[in-house]
Structure 1
Amino acid sequence: MTIIAKPDSSDSVDKAKDEQQPIKIVSKYVYQGNDKQLIQDQVITELPLQIRLIWQEQQQTKQQINSKIFSITMRTPGQDQALILGLLYCEGIIKTFNDVIKISAESESTNQWEVKLATHCQPDLTGLERYQLSYSSCGICGTTSLKSLELKNPPTLSDNRHWLNASAIYNLPKMMIQHQRLFQQTGGVHAAALFDENSQIIQVNEDIGRHNAIDKLVGSLIDGQTKVPKNSTLVVSSRVSFEIVQKAVMLGVPVLIAVGAPTDLAITAAQRFNLTLIGFAGSQSFNLYHGHWRLKALPKE
């Protein structure tokens, strides 16, 4: 797969590059009691990312080139290629790294990207509402059903039992935040982290959108052709919606841990696809909604 960004050519490009930085410096007033102080602060950047798919389709005796906007999503600039790969993988558009021939920037601002799919890859976009703006807080809408996930042919999750320590679960969110560079600077981003069964970090990614953080993680793994261990855990710094469960299932991760609450559909999906789902994970407690048999027995049990 080839990744291309168009060459720089003018002062306007330098300005566009500056706008693409993940962190911006702003001024703010801090009020304390009857006093106020003007200081500078670091905030996270939020910009739109447009993804256009290009693929060939056999039409009787000739090949037809198709082009369609797949998604427009708000994201934190950086790791755009990983975000695109991860989103396409989690949505079932691609199955492997080899399904993509080229990812290239349509414009010098790098907010518009084209993805050329391999000839053997024929995306099924029927029933998908793609001509919409997907805000950073909500992910791609219109696919929140168990049936839609089943049709993506997700991998079967490992059913290995009793490999995850409860004591490790208390520490995983803390370990993740230690690797959140952008969060430490701004406090304004979500994160997704993949751990192996020994609580060793495999990959950590950040973005203003919780869905985007996971897509960047998935895309980084695909780009590096990194195999996901059968006994692995995905930790997210957010609540858990159906889409978050979908991404974990499509990645083949059997345990999903969140610092926030799960929705009812997320729990139903976890039950349907045999995912261990944990919410409200803190340093001293957590809630387990499904899949307790992957945890090791407690000393008093």
Structure 2
Amino acid sequence: MRENGTVQPATRHEAESILMGRVTERRRIIRIKDGRASARPDTLVAEEPLEIRVNGRPLAITMRTPGDDFALATGFLVSEGVIGAADEVRAITYCEGATEDGVNTYNVVNVRLAPGVPAPGPELERHVYTTSSCGLCGKASLDAVRTATRFPVADTPPLRVTPALLAELPDRLRAAQRVFDRTGGLHAAALFSRTGELLDVREDVGRHNAVDKLVGRAVREGGLPLSRAILLVSGRASFELAQKAVMAGVPVLAAVSAPSSLAVDLAAESGLTLVGFLRGTQMNVYAGAERVVLPES
């Protein structure tokens, strides 16, 4: 159905199911192995642009894996400090972005804020790509990327985790990566309980998109702040991922690879526990060690 020039599917689930067929795509390739070449089809992860609009005004463009687009947009607005609860969003709809043959691309999302919720100002508008590799690019200064959270991590109830529990999480994340098994080309982010129970997992070509999808789904279920959750990301922990964790009230962020220096600085300033190089029983605690039950020296 149409509403003010937008295409709005009957239900959220119907909207997102439209995209599930584009999570992967098939391409014909030449495979060379042991000196022999053969033609065969291969499964690739899909990557397409998504333009996020707020009240009809373009805000950002991200390269993402289609699917969970409404959650991605919601989580992105949380990380930018625009919203902090589900009732601050009046509606999310796909805008028409038709191809030459009249087919809607479903690559433009418009978020209509609830009455009284301030729209983002010009300082947040950036008509640049939020790339799948590096996240948001083009912010003018370091001050511009430091966004105040509604859910101070330092104020959350005590959360203690053991190294043994943290060591189990990467394998649990990997076991839940269904699309990665078919493509080998996706990052993932997952939320775990303090006992290691997998709460939710999302995959995307970009780690930052996967985190936004997790946070957006939590918003829609009234789950913010995520003050009792552990966030695990595949790959490295950038400043932007640390910021997204802080903005959602996550007290513990773990990554299977290295953090950046700026991510460590933000974690130390905000009270976020940051764990990197989480591989097997080895890991580095870069900030917030008070939440980790450390073994005796």
Q: Could you tell me the TM-score, scaled by structure 1's length?
A: 0.85
Aligned mates of 2:143, 2:178 — CA distance in 1: 37
Q: Is it true that 1:126 corresponds to 2:127 in the alignment? A: no
State which of 39, 58, 64 in structure 2 corresponds to 1:69.
58
- The equivalences for 1:18-37 within 5 A come to 21-37=22-38
Aligned mates of 1:162, 1:134 — CA distance in 2: 32
Aligned mates of 2:135, 2:197 — CA distance in 1: 28
Q: Which runs of 5+ in 1 are unaligned?
A: 9-16, 55-66
* Higher Cα Rg, which structure: 1
- The equivalences for 1:127-166 within 5 A come to 127-143=123-139, 147-148=143-144, 151-157=147-153, 158=155, 163-166=160-163
Instruction: Return the offset for 1:227.
Output: 4.6
- Which residue matches 2:173? 176
State which of 78, 83, 90 in structure 2 corresponds to 1:101.
90
Aligned mates of 2:9, 2:287 — CA distance in 1: 50
- The equivalences for 1:1-301 within 5 A come to 5-6=7-8, 21-54=22-55, 67-107=56-96, 108-143=104-139, 147-148=143-144, 151-157=147-153, 158=155, 163-298=160-295, 300-301=296-297
List per-residue Cα deviations over 1:82-120 (Å, max 9, x = no partner). 101100111111121111111111122211111111121
Aligned mates of 1:52, 1:263 — CA distance in 2: 30
Compare 111-120 and 125-134 and name the one that shifted more.
Answer: 125-134
CA contact (8 A) 2:274 2:286 kept: yes
Instruction: Return the offset for 1:139.
Output: 1.8
Q: Which runs of 5+ in 2 are unaligned?
A: 11-17, 97-103
Q: Could you tell me which amino acid in structure 1 is paired with residue 288 of structure 2? A: G
CA contact (8 A) 2:234 2:255 kept: yes
The two structures, once aligned, show a CA RMSD in angstroms of 2.4
Q: Could you tell me the TM-score, scaled by structure 2's length?
A: 0.86
Q: Percent identity?
A: 36
Number of equivalences:
278
Aligned mates of 2:227, 2:149 — CA distance in 1: 18
Aligned mates of 2:282, 2:163 — CA distance in 1: 9
Q: Could you tell me which amino acid in structure 2 is paired with residue 76 of structure 1? A: T
CA contact (8 A) 1:103 1:114 kept: yes
